[in-house]
């Protein structure tokens, strides 16, 4: 029985049962009606919705309603710059870009360099700063609208946010954050205060804020929703993704300290090939002969899962891979090679985009239309 | 037995025994040797030192030593803008100006508008802002050096302070602030974080920071001193004042909600006369006849105490008042009139200086030499 799993903003472990998590967190499943409604309004579909990777929400229906009425919504997501980014980190940004484009929405991207400093005992701020700037380049490479996207580091922007941070902090006490985030008496006062900072962008505009992010961040939005009416704002909406399973399997957390659990955006083609061939958990049989006879199990095969979640949006092609692997026609090495090629194509393109994005950073951070407005508050 | 008294940054009550307080807080008495050393270095004396109103310290000797060596020290003090300022609030600033002048020191004045918002349940920030700006004018009226003094409101300046605030916050946990400040589970996370903000100016320069302030603020400096070595800074030094007793007597706290307990800087001459005549606790006898016979008790007379603490720096004149009141030659009404005239002279001059100071505010806040440097960090 593998029912024990933990999902908090700082720890995801065990085999996550996403239906149970919806119950635990008290969120809503994205059902077919809602999916159809998004497609209708977006006049497009997105594979990360179709394949159920974004699977849960809070008040997404209200955000869409506001869009239908012409009031719209704005988007907010973020990144804790504790190290180099891997592919799992990037996926929510890919979906966020689609939302921005289809719903013509302002987007705020918070880089929580302060959080990482508070939460990692041995973190040097100079190191976090280096990661922050490189992570921003990776994020900018996704291709957001530089006039409608504001990327900011907390350590740089807190001054401008502080009036709203103050209003939030006054409404949240130690009991609240202890209950929601598990803080203890030994928790440093930076960590205790930090939720007020992560919640601040939920109140950057008076319209509904929609947050596309992995579901582990949901506790913040729960608190933000509780206090929103007290501050005179609409309740924050969220659309939650699952987690990309790590190379070794869904129960092994991707970790910056175990480089072989993930594919980093900076991994070169040779490294990618080595990592997938050597570490990607396989649903295949021990020998080719056996595999041809019994077939593989795509359900537990990480290469197949990565293809189905992100790297093969084409459902027809995916079905063929599934069937061929299950029948034994497709060998594990061949399946892995399909993924390796997809990843290396993706990363090659990403690195090109990242280079191009360098000259847009000033727009995202300081002088695009939205950035300028936020600095002139 | 009146031994019970409370002194915290948010509450001062009971009859304060200052010798006991030195013991409780673990500070040092300012002794004659130290007084002489200050006089020698300042080439001047100050009545607020001579009369023992500034009575306690931490590492003042080290600050002086650093000055003797040519490394100097800098000054930091502040004001929580919860209402109009009264005379008790102004006294430490008067002494601070003398220190700045005599020791040619940079001075940072923190206006903790965030603190007042976090700590007062019903406070509207708009109201606190109004008080903050008026308090700044009152403070500027004291005549600090506009090129060497930086006056800042936390809500405006936190962005620039945040890197050092972060470093402080990481070194302080909930247990620490609970023990030092008495925070509880119900304490809002703004209050819990706030000590890191009030401590930040202790680390604005690498030299010794000397804080002239009333002794109730000492708990902050105790924590600052604990973490200073961990951050690579010298320990914060402090010079502590007593509290100006309220009009009704030393056991009644001056309070913005009881306007008759204090003389506000905005009180007009008629109000001053009324308040002193009606409310100033008297050491005189019930009838003139009795007073002439038995004499009054200057030790418990608030008018005499106010003269001795602040309004009559001339020790000869003060001694004559003391003797005449004790002998019965000086009546209570006459003693009160001496104080009324002194206060009204002081306030008339203060209001003139306040008007003149208005045009220096931009220098103190934004473009004097020190302010400019602090905004360009």
Q: Which residues of A touch B193 (CB under 8 A)?
A: 169, 189-190, 192-193
The pLDDT value recorded for residue A261 is 85
**CA-CA-CA-CA torsion sign (B72, B78, B84, B88):** negative
Round to whole Å and give the CA distance between A349 and A346. 5
CA distance A14 to B71: 58
For residue A368, how many other CB atoms are within 10 A of its CB?
A: 21
What topology is assigned to B259-353 in CATH?
Tyrosyl-Transfer RNA Synthetase (1.10.240)
Q: Could B189 and A166 be called an inter-chain contact, meaning their C-beta atoms sit closer than 8 Å?
A: no
Chain B closest-CA separation from residue A135 CA (Å) = 20
Inter-chain CB proximity B158 and A155 less than 8 Å:
no
Structure-token pair, residue B120: 């007062």
Nearest to B172 among A167, A169, A188 (CB): A188
Chain B residues close to A154, C-beta within 8 Å: 162
Q: Is the pLDDT of residue A368 over 60?
A: yes
pLDDT digits (tens, 9 = 90+) for B289-310: 999 999 999 999 999 999 999 9
Q: What was the pLDDT predicted at A256?
A: 65
Q: Do A117 and B166 touch (CB under 8 A)?
A: yes
Angstrom distance (rounded) from CA B377 to CA A362 = 19
pLDDT in tens, B128-145: 999 999 999 999 999 999
* Average confidence (pLDDT) over B243-268: 85
Is the pLDDT at A184 greater than 80? The verdict is: yes
Residue A1 predicted with pLDDT over 50: no
Residue from the list B114, B159, B166 with its beta carbon closest to the beta carbon of A166: B114
**B118 vs A contacts (CB less than 8 Å):** 166, 169-170
pLDDT for residue A155 is more than 50: yes
Nearest residue, CB atoms, B158 vs list A162, A177, A184? A162
What share of chain A in percent tops pLDDT 90? Answer: 93
Radius of gyration of chain A (CA): 21
CA distance B297 to B195: 42
pLDDT at A171 over 50: yes
Q: Which string of DSSP letters, residue by residue, matches A133-167?
A: HHHHHHHHTT---TTTEEEEEHHHHHHHHHHHHHH
- Name the pLDDT band for B27 (thresholds 50, 70, 90): very high
Residue ranges, comma separated, of all CATH 1.10.240.10 domains in chain A are 259-353
CA torsion angle for A33, A36, A41, A44 (degrees, to 10)? 160
Copy the structure tokens of residue A311.
């790297």
Would the CB atoms of A163 and B125 count as touching at under 8 Å? yes
CA of A24, closest CA in chain B: separation in Å? 25
The answer to whether residue B252 scores a pLDDT higher than 80 is no
Whether residue B44 is predicted with pLDDT greater than 70 in this model: the reply is yes
Cα→Cα distances A345→A182, B134, B330, Å: 41, 63, 98
Tokens representing B199 are: 């401590």
Query: Mean pLDDT lowest for which of A29-43, A254-268, B223-237?
Result: A254-268
In the numeric block, which tokens belong to residue A341?
Answer: 């090629």
Q: What percent of chain A has pLDDT over 70?
A: 98
The answer to whether A263 touches A84, Cβ cutoff 8 Å, is: no
Contact A169 B118 (CB under 8 A): yes
Q: A266-299, pLDDT tens digit by residue?
A: 999 999 999 999 999 999 999 999 999 999 999 9
- Interface of A to B at Cβ within 8 Å reads 114, 117-118, 125, 154-160, 162-163, 166-167, 169-178, 183-190, 192-193, 195-196
Supply the DSSP symbol for A309: I
Q: Find chain A residues with C-beta within 8 A of B157's C-beta.
A: 159
Region at B182 (left for phi over 0; alpha for psi -120 to 50; beta for the rest): left
Q: Who wins on pLDDT, B171 or A1?
A: B171
* B157–A160 CB contact, under 8 Å: no
Provide the 3-class DSSP secondary structure of residue B356: helix
Please report which confidence band the pLDDT of residue A65 belongs to, taking 50, 70 and 90 as the band edges: very high
pLDDT at B206 exceeding the cut of 80? yes
* C-alpha–C-alpha distance, residues A48 and A310, integer Å: 7
Query: Number of A:B CB contacts under 8 A?
Result: 113
SS3 of residue A245 by DSSP? coil
* CA–CA gap between residue A16 and residue A42 (Å, rounded): 30
Among B165, B170, B182, B183, the strongest candidate for a mutation testing the A interface, having the largest count of A CBs within 10 A, is: B170
Whether residue A157 is predicted with pLDDT greater than 70 in this model: the reply is yes
ipTM at complex level: 0.93
Is pLDDT above 60 for B313? Answer: yes
Nearest to A185 among B169, B175, B196 (CB): B175
> Taking residues A42-63, what's their average pLDDT?
97
Interface residues of chain B, partner chain A, Cβ below 8 Å: 114, 117-118, 125, 154-160, 162-163, 166-167, 169-178, 183-190, 192-193, 195-196
If residue B22 lies in a helix (H) or strand (E), which one and from where to where? helix B18-25
Q: pLDDT tens, A79-133?
A: 999 999 999 999 999 999 999 999 999 999 999 999 999 999 899 999 999 999 9
Pick one of 1.10.10.10, 3.40.50.970, 3.30.420.10, 3.40.50.620 as the CATH number of A6-247: 3.40.50.620
Q: What is the pLDDT of residue B287?
A: 95
Mean pLDDT across chain B, nearest whole number?
96
Q: Tell me the pLDDT of chain A averaged across its residues.
A: 96
φ, ψ of residue A71 in degrees (nearest 5): -80, -25
pLDDT at B323 over 70: yes
Q: For residue A20, give the 3-state DSSP assignment.
A: helix
- Are residues A199 and A223 in contact, defined by beta-carbon separation less than 8 angstroms? yes
Say whether pLDDT at A303 is over 80: yes
Which chain B residues are closer than 8 Å to A182 by Cβ? none
Query: In a mutagenesis test of the B interface, which of A123, A129, A181, A193 is the best target, namely the one with the most B β-carbons within 10 Å?
Result: A193
CA distance B205 to B217: 20
Q: Round to whole Å and give the CA distance between B335 and B324.
A: 10
Closest by Cα among A213, A212, A227, A216 to A181: A216
Is it the case that residue A326 has pLDDT exceeding 90?
Answer: yes
- Pick from B155, B162, B186: CB nearest A163: B155
Least confident range of A93-107, A147-161, A238-252:
A238-252
Every domain range in chain A assigned CATH 3.40.50.620: 6-247
- pLDDT class of A337 with cuts at 50, 70, 90: very high
* Strands, E assignment, chain B: 6-8, 11-13, 28-29, 54-58, 73-79, 107-111, 149-153, 208-214, 237-241
In sign, the C-alpha dihedral spanning B34, B39, B41, B46 is positive
| pLDDT over threshold 80, residue B279 | yes
Contact state of B118 with A172 under an 8 Å Cβ cutoff: no
State CA A154 to chain mean position distance: 18
Test A193 with B188 for CB contact under 8 angstroms: no
Assess whether pLDDT exceeds 80 at residue A258: no
Query: Which of the four pLDDT bands, split at 50, 70 and 90, describes residue B256?
Result: low
* B364 vs B355: CA distance, rounded Å: 15
Query: What is the reported pLDDT for A145?
Result: 98
pLDDT at A2 exceeding the cut of 60:
no
């Amino acid at each position: 029985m593998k029912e024990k799993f933990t999902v908090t903003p700082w720890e995801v472990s065990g085999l996550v049962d996403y239906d149970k998590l919806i119950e635990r967190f008290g969120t809503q499943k994205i059902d077919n009606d809602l999916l159809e409604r998004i497609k209708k309004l977006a006049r497009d579909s997105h594979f990360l919705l179709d394949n159920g990777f974004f699977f849960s929400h809070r008040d997404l229906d209200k955000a869409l309603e506001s869009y239908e009425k012409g009031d719209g919504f704005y988007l907010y997501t973020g990144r804790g710059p504790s190290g180099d980014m891997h592919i799992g980190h990037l996926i929510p940004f890919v979906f966020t870009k689609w939302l921005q484009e289809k719903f013509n929405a302002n987007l705020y991207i918070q880089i929580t360099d302060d959080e990482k400093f508070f939460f990692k005992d041995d973190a040097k701020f100079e190191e976090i700063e280096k990661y922050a700037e490189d992570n921003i380049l990776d994020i900018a490479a996704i291709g957001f609208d530089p006039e409608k996207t504001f990327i900011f580091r907390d350590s740089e922007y807190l001054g401008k946010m502080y009036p709203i941070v103050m209003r939030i902090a006054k409404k949240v006490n130690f009991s609240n954050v202890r209950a929601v985030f598990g803080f203890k008496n030994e928790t440093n006062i930076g960590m205790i205060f930090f939720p007020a900072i992560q919640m601040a962008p939920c109140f950057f505009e008076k319209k509904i804020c929609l947050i596309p992010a992995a579901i582990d961040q949901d506790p913040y939005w729960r608190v933000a929703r509780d206090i929103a009416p007290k501050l005179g704002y609409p309740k924050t909406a969220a659309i939650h993704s699952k987690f990309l399973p790590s190379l070794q399997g869904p129960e092994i957390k991707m970790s910056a300290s175990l480089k072989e659990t993930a594919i980093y955006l900076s991994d070169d083609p040779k490294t990618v090939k080595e990592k997938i061939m050597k570490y990607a958990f396989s649903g295949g049989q021990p020998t080719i002969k056996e595999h041809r006879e019994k077939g593989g199990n795509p359900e537990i095969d990480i290469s197949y899962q990565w293809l189905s979640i992100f790297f093969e949006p084409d459902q027809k092609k995916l079905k063929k891979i599934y069937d061929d692997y299950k029948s034994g026609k497709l060998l594990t090495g061949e399946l892995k090679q399909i993924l390796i090629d997809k990843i290396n194509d993706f990363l090659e393109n990403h690195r090109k985009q990242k280079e191009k994005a360098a000259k847009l950073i000033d727009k995202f951070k300081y002088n695009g239309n939205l950035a300028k407005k936020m600095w002139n508050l």
